[in-house]
Structure 1
Amino acid sequence: MDLNTVTSVARPQAREQLPQWTAGDAWLAGGTWLFSEPQAHLTRLIDLADLNWPALTITDSHLQIAATCTVAQLDALACPPDWIAAPLINQCCRAFLASFKIWKTATIGGNLCCSLPAGPMISLTAALEGQCTIWNADGSETRLPVTDFILGDQRNALAPGDLLRSLDIPLAALRRRSAFRQIALTPVGRSAALLIGAVKENGLLLTVTGSTVRPVQLAFATMPRTEQLHEAILNAIPDNLYHTDVHGKPAWRKHMTLRFAEEIRAELGGTP
């Protein structure tokens, strides 16, 4: 869709060249959402392409994912054999309500910044204990967990002019045994519930997304029993935190959350 109110496009090549943020500005990365519907309030786009951030960088401690990394680039990452949680990457990429053609343009940062409950890159990075690096509009920098970055349905921690720079995934999280569950009302529909569990030390780290308006993460020092897990979810997720739209009603999402959580617990070695 043409954005016929946009009168200029800025193309900075370094952080110091980022223009001062004004009303009517928008960051442009993949643009798959930006160009999908009218944006009559916009007058300028700030194109991030010329910043040339490396899409994926592996260090001794973490995997860094640039906000401009595309879904296709992440899906194609050749992961080391000891990253036994690596299948989560491909599973979450295939939880998109989007074709593989969109993957070549849509970005990981864009999925987080849209902050939709069903955002599968939110599910992936939250479950892997990702940390967001934010370039603040005042020139400073903020780091916070993905679970704190997403505040609600289409709400996040970015203030006007703030820019999501990257996500750091600790390698320790990629080396954990994990389990994935996802459901949608149609075979390729938007996720109504997407849960990921991982064995962390001797316990369970459970991340609930899709069914809730923001990620909810529960950590257990030891593998919980069925009733302990059930009670913890009921206490952590009040009914008003479950999302509702045409892709699923709250009561059904709650039911699937409890069911998937128990399946994950059992798969990862929990006893009844």
Structure 2
Amino acid sequence: MDLNTITEVAHPQKREQLPVWTAGDAWLAGGTWLFSEPQVHLTRLIDLTDLKWPALTIGETGLTIAATCTVAQLDALACPPEWLAAPLINQCCRAFLASFKIWKTATVGGNLCMSLPAGPMISLTAALDGVCTVWKADGSERRVGVADFVTGNNRNVLTPGDLLRQIEIPLAALKRRAAFRQISLTLLGRSAALLIGSLGSEGAMALTVTASTARPVRLSFSQIPDPRELREAIREHIPDAIYHDDVHGKPAWRKHMTLRLAEEIRAELQGLV
């Protein structure tokens, strides 16, 4: 869709060249949502592609994902064999309700910044202990965990002029054994519940609940819980008001599926011990 209210497109090549944020501005990375509907309040786009951030960087401490990294680039990443959680990358990429054309354009950062409950890049990076680096409008930086970055349906910690720079995934999280479960009302529908469990080297279990809830919820256990302990933890830490309600699933059904999928993950991880 043409955005016929845009009068300027800025092309900064480094942080110092980012223009002063004003009303009517929008960051442009993939633009798959931006160009999908009228944006009559916008007058300027700030194109991030000329910043030329490396899409993916594997380092000694883990994986760094640039906010401008596309879904296709992430899906094609050749992961080291010791990254036992690597299958989660492909599983979450395929949880998108999107064509291959969108994959080649849509960005990981855009998915986080849209902050929709069903955003699978939120699910992936939250489950892998991802930490966001945010360039603040005042020139400073802020680091915040993905699980805390998203605060609700289409809500996050960004304030006007803030820019998500990257997401860092620690090596320890990538080396954990993991289990993935996702369900939709229809075969190719939007995720109504997407849960990821992981098992640390010392037996600690983490469970990340997304899509069924308005924001990510992380549960941690010192060891794999029994079924009753798991159910009680979910009911205690996920109040009914947090379950998302839209045409892709009612809260009561999402809660039921969360409990069911969580038990499947628990059982799978138990079998890996």
What TM-score bracket applies, with the shorter chain setting the length?
over 0.9
Shift of 1:8: 0.3
- Aligned residue number for residue 263 of structure 1: 264
Q: Find out whether 1:233 has 2:242 as its counterpart.
A: no
CA contact (8 A) 1:7 1:44 kept: yes
Q: Distance in 2 between matches of 1:251 and 1:146?
A: 26
- Aligned residue number for residue 243 of structure 2: 242
Shift of 1:188: 1.1
Shift of 1:171: 1.1
Shift of 1:213: 0.2
Any residues of structure 2 matched to 1:200-215 within 5 Å, and which?
200=200, 201-215=202-216
Any residues of structure 2 matched to 1:14-25 within 5 Å, and which?
14-25=14-25
Partner deviation per Cα, 1:23-42 (whole Å, 9 max, x = no partner): 00000000000000110100
Any residues of structure 2 matched to 1:148-227 within 5 Å, and which?
148-200=148-200, 201-227=202-228
Shift of 1:223: 1.0
Partner deviation per Cα, 1:29-84 (whole Å, 9 max, x = no partner): 00000000110100000000100000000110010000000000000000011111
Higher mean displacement: 108-117 or 201-210: 201-210
Partner deviation per Cα, 1:106-149 (whole Å, 9 max, x = no partner): 00000000000000000000000000000000000000100010
Q: Distance in 2 between matches of 1:74 and 1:114?
A: 18
Q: Distance in 1 between matches of 2:6 and 2:187?
A: 37
Q: Find out whether 1:96 has 2:96 as its counterpart.
A: yes
Q: Find out whether 1:115 has 2:94 as its counterpart.
A: no
Shift of 1:186: 1.1
Q: Distance in 2 between matches of 1:42 and 1:33?
A: 14
Q: Distance in 1 between matches of 2:264 and 2:79?
A: 26
Q: Could you say what the CA RMSD is over the residues aligned between the two structures, in angstroms? A: 0.9
Which 5+ residue runs of structure 2 have no aligned equivalent?
none
Tell me how many residue pairs correspond in the alignment. 271
Shift of 1:270: 6.7
Q: Distance in 2 between matches of 1:215 and 1:259?
A: 17
Shift of 1:242: 0.1
CA contact (8 A) 1:203 1:224 kept: no
Which 5+ residue runs of structure 1 have no aligned equivalent?
none
Letter in structure 1 aligned against 2:106: A
CA contact (8 A) 1:223 1:270 kept: no
Q: Distance in 2 between matches of 1:255 and 1:95?
A: 20
Q: Distance in 2 between matches of 1:73 and 1:3?
A: 27
- Aligned residue number for residue 136 of structure 1: 136
Q: Distance in 1 between matches of 2:188 and 2:95?
A: 8
CA contact (8 A) 1:224 1:270 kept: no
Q: Percent of pairs identical after alignment?
A: 75
